[in-house]
Amino acid sequence: MAPLVNGQVIKRSNLASGKNLGFWTSLGILISIIFFASLLFAFNVWKKYPLRRLKNLEVSDSEQKKQLTLLRNEVTTLETTKSRLENTITGKDALMLHKDITISRKDALINTKDTEIARLNPFEHEANTLRPQIGELKDEIRDLQRELQTSKSATSSEKARNTQIARRLVFVTSELAELQQKGSKCS
């Protein structure tokens, strides 16, 4: 079948004419040169690429090993820090538990104190009402103690006087008895 260009059949004789033949030959040679140059370039790149890639991989591998070492050191540091923080948290938890226990004990003491205050409040009110009476009674007791002291001293002086009177009575009685005896002897 004959080639078509713009809907027209082109005959071979037109393509192979002398004036077009040189053009088409040089175009074919140029395309062949470009094709082979491309193949050679691709082959060279393909040959060199694995070496460059290997060198890049070696560099990348050493960098990654350094980064891995740094990351491992950082992980070790972070684990140490984590351990210290966990110990701190454990200590603070124990301290908080101790403080909670202390607070609950103090709350219990406050409740006990409040209960005792509520229980003793009526007695306090009664004591407040009795205090004036107690003062009056203390004054009365002092007065009675003075009177008692006065009475005791009066009693002791009366006893002394009674003792003197009793002695005198004994003396007078004995003299009267003597006089009566003498008077009965005389009569």
* Boundaries of every domain in the chain: 30-169
Q: Answer whether residue 16 shows pLDDT above 70.
A: no
- What does pTM read for this prediction? 0.37
Compute the distance between CA of residue 110 and CA of residue 117 in angstroms, rounded to an integer. Answer: 10
Q: What is the pLDDT of residue 130?
A: 85
C-alpha pair distances (Å), 76 with each of 59, 84, 148: 26, 12, 96
Q: Answer whether residue 1 shows pLDDT above 60.
A: no
Average pLDDT over residues 148-156: 88
Average pLDDT over residues 54-78: 85
Q: Lowest-confidence range among 68-72, 74-78, 109-113, 167-171? A: 167-171
Query: Which of the pair, 117 or 19, is modelled with greater confidence?
Result: 117
Mean pLDDT of the chain: 84
What DSSP line would sit under the chain, residue for residue? ---EETTEEPPHHHHT-HHHHHHHHHHHHHHHHHHHHHHHHHHHHHHHHHHHHHHHHHHHHHHHHHHHHHHHHHHHHHHHHHHHHHHHHHHHHHHHHHHHHHHHHHHHHHHHHHHHHHHHHHHHHHHHHHHHHHHHHHHHHHHHHHHHHHHHHHHHHHHHHHHHHHHHHHHHHHHHHHHHHHHHHH-
Q: What is the pLDDT of residue 182?
A: 81
Position 101 confidence tier, pLDDT thresholds 50, 70, 90: very high
